Structure 1
Amino acid sequence: MTHLNAEVLAAASTPAAEPITSAGHGQLALAVLLGIAVLVLLITRFKLHAFLSLTIGTLVLGAVAGAPLDKVISSFSAGLGSTVAGVGVLIALGAILGKLLADSGGADQIVDTILAKASNRAMPWAMVLIAGIIGLPLFFEVGIVLLIPVVLLVAKRGGYSLMRIGIPALAGLSVMHGLVPPHPGPLAAIDSVDANLGVTLALGVLIAVPTAIIAGPVFARYADRWVDVTPPEGLIPERPSEQLDRRPGFAVTVGTVLLPVVLMLIKALVDIVIDDPENTVQRVADVVGNPMMALLAAVLVGLFTLGGAAGFARDRLASTVESSLGPIAGMLLIVGAGGGFKQTLIDSGVGQMILDISQDWNISALLLGWLIAVGIRLATGSATVATISAAGLVAPLAADMSTSHVALLVLAIGAGSLFLSHVNDAGFWLVKEYFGMSVGQTLRTWSVMECVISVVSLVFILLLSLII
């Protein structure tokens, strides 16, 4: 556990000593199915906000399981609080860094520099590289809004096929979102199963690189044959007439974006090499490599290297920071409610039920986590809800796992949460509208790409589990 208040969060996320209900496995299984069914129905059919849907789904789960309502509310509140405490500050810091990156022109600098050096054949590879770098600190939806207009501009001005360069960009963003902290889904799963964030980050990057290549530039060749679309004229952005007088340099911008990743990886390496909690070097590394401290350092550095380099005055920097926090309110509530739903599952004894049943299954815990996440993803359309819920269900399986295998369990859940984005996923419609595709074309490209990411990353995860 690598969060600032690790012991407190771990205690808050630990299953109750005594379940809040005495229901048997059959009743608990029915409670889970009905709770998730209500959640799905409210999100997909009635278009109710995911926060409210998760809250109502939790109450239904508890009621069917025969748990007292006051204990259900207590479990939900405890799970919500511990989840927000664990990832809320990180989400806020990530949003500030992403806003600084966009407003300062740093994102444009990264894009323009790489594209200027990319040949025609290298353009798909350049796009997946850009998406991977930009996607590190940004939420998936923010990354799409930032990158897709660039993709459309490049396709029009350079005469490139939209699928050949658009799919790699989407793949880079999606892989980062599902597999690499500090994105909300992986962070929440790390909290749930008590994984080591540094190890998860290192293994996530190791798996993300080949997965993004296969699902991006390689798969794009086939997507280009299946779908031929012209970028919609009305959505192709024009450069604003008023440009910033100056913007941060390429190397400084990339260095700022990668700073929190580097700090967290250093902590992971020091923990492995020294492995002595009383060692001064390790204690320093534990502080600077703490996710909150690493992201805070990147934000503070970014105020100077990004905002300062763009000539932002103090008032402009303050407004940039302030405007970055409003849009994440809904994300924090959804993530927190997902944590409440997860904690209610655990406190009801569902996690122990999964553990008891799975002991008789000839199935890998990694594959089980992936399958559960796939099912919830298909039902709800939310990768974050799928990750948090699946992590809560399989958390007991992580108790006897090694550090590396617990990290792989997080990644397997994250991989399953990306499977088959379709009409109940907001990202599906965002991609469809930006690319000017029909529903069928979006299913054959974007949805298939998500399946490729999910399955390919699972294969790499299972292979790694045999080695480490």
Structure 2
Amino acid sequence: MLDLLVLLLGVLILLVMIIKFKINTFISLIVVAVLVGLGLRMPLGQIPVSIQNGIGGSLGELAIVFGFGAMLGRLIADAGGAYRIAKTLINSFGKKRIQWAIMLASFIIGIALFFEVGMVLLIPIVFAVALEASVPLIYLGIPMAAGLSVTHGFLPPHPAPIAISGALGANPGTVLMFGIIAAIPTVIVAGPIFTKIARKWVPEAFVVKTKLSAFGEIKQWELKDTPSFGISILTALMPVILMAISTIYSIVFNNGKPFAAATTSILKAGKVVTTTTYPTSVIENIMMFLGNPVSAMVISLLFALWTMGWKQHKKTAEMMTTVVDSVKSIAMLLLVIGGGAALKQILIDGGISSQISEMFKGSNLSPLILAWIITVILRVALGSATVAALTAAGLVQPMMANMSPNMAALMVLAIGAGSIAASHVNDAGFWMFKEYFDLDVKQTLKTWTVLETIIAVVGLGMVMLLSIFVH
């Protein structure tokens, strides 16, 4: 219980540093990570190692994905492609239904892409749509984030649902089927419906912006000077297409599990020897390559250099200026995400998850509700949705002995819903939403944190409703 108080005190100190004293977010996160590590009685030498591992583990892949994603988005915007997509969407759906169009697009894209990748790719297009429709960015941003979050927490082939399915012996195909049924009403409630409430609750966040610090200013365009809608949308969705090809192939030929390298460790001559083996099939190696966000972004950026650059008769030097400017705009965003990951790692290495598991021994609650509660507490304490979900799956495994395959699938969804709840200052997604939408911490807590909690609560409600009909 003392360690949970340390966590609460750490969060309060962080909020005071950022909100009251206006200290840089990245500096505040690192300072609080050290203080929390001391409060959790971690060895002094372990604290900097945990911070380093947290930042390295988070930014190892994200640095490339975010960097190339920012370059891709800026190339599309600076060539007029984002404007063309925005204009076409508004003309097709009308301003009154544009929010639903963005939510649907985000949901579809979110099935194939990780949350972070989807956010990076969609922001420039959603920003262009918001400007053209003269609506606040967050008016479209909430439905966009809802679509991406729901798919991230509920639907295979995302890492957490796949990993939990494996741990609990659930069929990923069944999880996907039930997940879509639960996800549709959840995303509607958390998207367009919550936006109406948030607009009255946090009116200061709903202002029309012409410039974002994490993206820059959108140029003004004449439609005749922009690339065609077909080539613009193909360029924007290229990472989605590449990863979807891999996803569909894995569903058809690999029971929904993504192709991955296998790592084995053996004791040899007193030393642990780790070996990594890759799929022997050429087609499986290709699918593994296409399905990786890093390679998908690299291919997509090269494609964008041609479609949004050379094909539009742009000079290479001009495109490289765009590339450099795009990376400058996300530098602090990357540091802030790394700082959030450092705090998360301190909490994990400090052993808070094991204390939480002890709190629920011998409980008589419904297994689905109990799994959800455990996951929510882990999510609030640890920050990472994936870590919370996997830790919870390990804790609820003893309850799975007499469960049918269908109920096992619902257990995966209950844990997935809980893993999204109450995202706050120890979650990288919190800082990502704050920086991209130019919000302060209070506004982010009132919008993003509430949005994620609504998804978790409505998601659990849908799981319990399904459990009435599924045995």
TM over 0.5: yes
Deviation at 1:306, TM superposition (A): 2.2
Q: 1:255 to 1:364 in 2, by over 3 A?
A: farther
Q: Identify the range of structure 1 (102-111 vs 63-72) with the bigger mean alpha-carbon deviation.
A: 63-72
Counterpart residue number, 2:400:
none
Residue matched to 2:272:
none
5 Å-filtered alignment, 1:37-48, equals 37-48=12-23
Q: Which residue, out of 284, 304, 307, partners 1:305?
A: 307
Q: Deviations over 1:189-229 (max 9, x none)?
A: 95999679xx8998998876654444455566788999999
Contact 2:422–2:450 (Cα < 8 Å) also in 1: no
1:274 matched residue in structure 2: 253
The 2-side partners of 1:153 and 1:398 are apart by: 45
Alignment of 1:88-103 (within 5 A): 88-103=63-78
Aligned pairs for 1:182-197 (under 5 A) are none
Residue 42 of structure 2: aligned partner: 67
Superposed, which structure 2 residues align to 1:50-449 within 5 Å? 50-119=25-94, 122-126=97-101, 128=103, 147=126, 150-151=129-130, 153-154=132-133, 169-176=140-147, 178-179=149-150, 210-217=185-192, 243=222, 246-275=225-254, 277-361=279-363, 362=365, 363-370=369-376, 373=379, 387-388=383-384, 391-392=386-387, 395-399=390-394, 409=415, 412-414=418-420, 416-417=422-423, 426=434, 430=438
CA pair 32-222 structure 1, distance change in 2 beyond 3 A: closer
- Conserved in 2, the CA contact under 8 Å of 1:178 and 1:415? no
SS at match of 2:2: helix
Residues of 2 paired with 1:428 and 1:294: CA distance? 22
Query: Cα offset for 1:300?
Result: 1.3
User: CA deviation digits over 1:27-84, x for unaligned, max 9?
Assistant: 3323323322322322233222222222111211121222221111112212221221
Counterpart contact for 1:175–1:212, Cα < 8 Å:
yes
Displacement of 1:234: 9.9
- With structure 1 as the length reference, what TM-score do the two structures score? 0.67
CA distance in 1 between partners of 2:347 and 2:198 (Å):
40
How far apart are the structure 2 equivalents of 1:219 and 1:27? 36
Rounded Cα–Cα distance in structure 2 between residues aligned with 1:261 and 1:465: 33
Q: 1:29 to 1:233 in 2, by over 3 A?
A: closer
Structure 1 residues 384-439: Cα deviation after superposition (integer angstroms, max 9, x where no partner): xx843x655564224477899768745643354289x99xx95799579xxxxxx9
Alignment check: 8 A CA contact 1:346 1:393 kept: no
Asked whether 1:28 is paired with 2:28, we answer no
The one-letter code matched in structure 1 to 2:15 is V
For 1:381, the equivalent position in structure 2 comes to none
Classify 1:192/1:357 alpha carbon distance in 2 versus 1 (closer, same or farther; 3 Å): farther
For 2:286, give the aligned amino acid: V
Aligned pairs for 1:6-21 within 5 A: none
Instruction: Identify if the C-alpha distance between structure 1 residues 239 and 118 changes in structure 2 by more than 3 Å, giving closer, same or farther.
Output: same
Per the alignment, do residues 192 and 30 of structure 1 end up closer, same or farther by CA in structure 2, a change over 3 Å counting? farther
Please state how far the C-alpha of 1:154 moved relative to its aligned partner.
3.1
Unaligned runs of 5+ in 1: 1-25, 156-161, 377-385, 433-438
Shifted more, 88-97 versus 143-152: the winner is: 143-152
8 Å contact from structure 2 (residues 235, 303) kept in 1: yes
Unaligned runs of at least 5 residues, structure 2: 166-171, 212-216, 260-278, 398-407
Shift of 1:235: 6.6
Shift of 1:86: 3.2
**CA-CA distance at 1:123 after TM superposition:** 4.8
* 1:69 match: secondary structure: coil
* Secondary structure at the counterpart of residue 343 of structure 1: helix
Bigger shift: residues 336-345 or 244-253: 244-253
Specify the code of the residue in structure 1 equivalent to 2:420.
G
- After TM superposition, the structure 1 stretch with the greater mean CA deviation from structure 2, 408-417 or 316-325, is 408-417
Query: What do the CA deviations read for 1:105-124 (whole angstroms, capped 9, x no partner)?
Result: 11111111122233576455
